[in-house]
Amino acid sequence: MKKHNFYAGPSILSEYTIKNTADAILNFADTGLSILEVSHRSKEFQAVIDEAAALVKELLNVPQGYSVLFLGGGASMQFCMIPYNFLQNKAAYLDTGTWASNAIKEAKLFGEVDVVASSKDANYTYIPKDFTVPADVDYFHFTTNNTIYGTEIRHDPDLGVRLIADMSSDIFSRPIDVAKYDAIYAGAQKNLAPAGVTIVIVKDEALGHVERAIPTMLNYKTHIAKGSMFNTPPVLPIYSALQTLRWYRDMGGIEALEKRDMEKAALLYEAIDSSRMFQGTVTDPADRSIMNVCFVMTPEYKDLEKDFIDFAGGRGIVGIKGHRSVGGFRASLYNAMPIDSVRVLVEAMKDFEATR
Ligand SMILES: *Cc1c(COP(=O)(O)O)cnc(C)c1O
């Protein structure tokens, strides 16, 4: 049976990505060797990482003066690398979920952290709007898409200070005004590649302004100087990332992807809002994520949640169980998710509802 993969991460990848990765595991770039066994210093792999960096720049319209890095350690490593490299006196952070608060925890090890607003009081079901950011902060850090709670900030805020963002779960789903940012980072396993690589887009000139000594591997300058090859980079995830980036380009680029993502999300939210059995956990439509759609059963039907997961599973739908801190369901609609799979889910919701 065809599977419809709604997992939140690691998550669905395009067939193009998976097929080309499988081919390269058998024979990489006609070398007669597997991508798993070639030197990262080979000219064939150098071509891969160069093209991947160039495509990130092209797709996201990255201006001059920024470097694109492919690092290990996941997005969680960036929670520490960001303040290590950018926090001299004080930074502002927006607390919109588990990942945001993990980033805050790390930043506090390095200097003063002003948590300008938090939606923790309502289990992170909304994006705080009424807050001000002190003008003297080194940067404002936020999480553009809250993977666990299904909220999203789909714009690049004007706050009068430099921005830094964790875009792990919605990068490549909208155009970004990169010039407003000193750094953008994204773990690959939500919208790009298998786990193991993190993309970092960093403004070169913004580095070098902290007084502390920075360990070699945690210093962005190390990786910029060596083109992400200071040590062995995650070769296979980078190869897969390149395939996805090519697929993104061939799909028509970011605007086309965004349009498609909006259609998918609208279809599912419509089904949730028009149902008597399901309800969204994020009520303000402006705050709703188009990547991770979180919903539950209304109190009357609450005890049927497990049954629906089984029912949907019978139709090949996998990965819709909500995160334990939200419960219910979460359908992740990353770029690689075809609209037909969303239709299958919507159909399953309607059919299940009709049985009660
Ligand atoms: C998944 C996720 C992370 C954690 O990523 P790791 O690569 O596992 O460290 C951080 N931020 C966001 C927004 C995420 O979705």
Which residues face 70 on adjacent strands?
Answer: 199
Measured between alpha carbons, how far is 185 from 86 in angstroms, rounded to an integer?
14
Of 7, 11, 70, 76, the one to substitute when testing ligand 1's pocket (max ligand atoms within 8 A of C-beta) is 76
Is 210 in contact with 85 (CB distance < 8 Å)? yes
From the CB of residue 267, how many other CB atoms can be counted at a distance below 10 Å? 16
Point out the ligand 1 atom lying closest to the alpha carbon of residue 187: 7
Point out the ligand 1 atom lying closest to the alpha carbon of residue 169: 15
Is 282 in contact with 126 (CB distance < 8 Å)? yes
Asked if residue 9 has its Cβ within 6 Å of ligand 1, the reply is yes
Task: Give Cβ neighbours of residue 15 (< 8 Å, ≥ 6 apart).
Answer: none
Summarised one tens digit per residue, pLDDT across range 30-56 is 999 999 999 999 999 999 999 999 999
Task: Give Cβ neighbours of residue 279 (< 8 Å, ≥ 6 apart).
Answer: 272, 295, 296, 297, 298
DSSP character string of 77-105: HHHHHHHHHH-SSEEEEEE-SHHHHHHHH
CA angle 318, 319, 322 (to 5 degrees): 140
Summarised one tens digit per residue, pLDDT across range 135-194 is 999 999 999 999 999 999 999 999 999 999 999 999 999 999 999 999 999 999 999 999
pLDDT band at 356 (very low <50, low <70, confident <90, very high): confident
Is 107 in contact with 83 (CB distance < 8 Å)? yes
**pTM flag (> 0.95):** yes
Summarised one tens digit per residue, pLDDT across range 254-268 is 999 999 999 999 999
Dihedral angle sign, alpha carbons of residues 285, 289, 291, 295: negative
Of 78, 96, 98, 99, the one to substitute when testing ligand 1's pocket (max ligand atoms within 8 A of C-beta) is 99
pLDDT band at 314 (very low <50, low <70, confident <90, very high): very high
For residue 283, pLDDT beyond 90: no
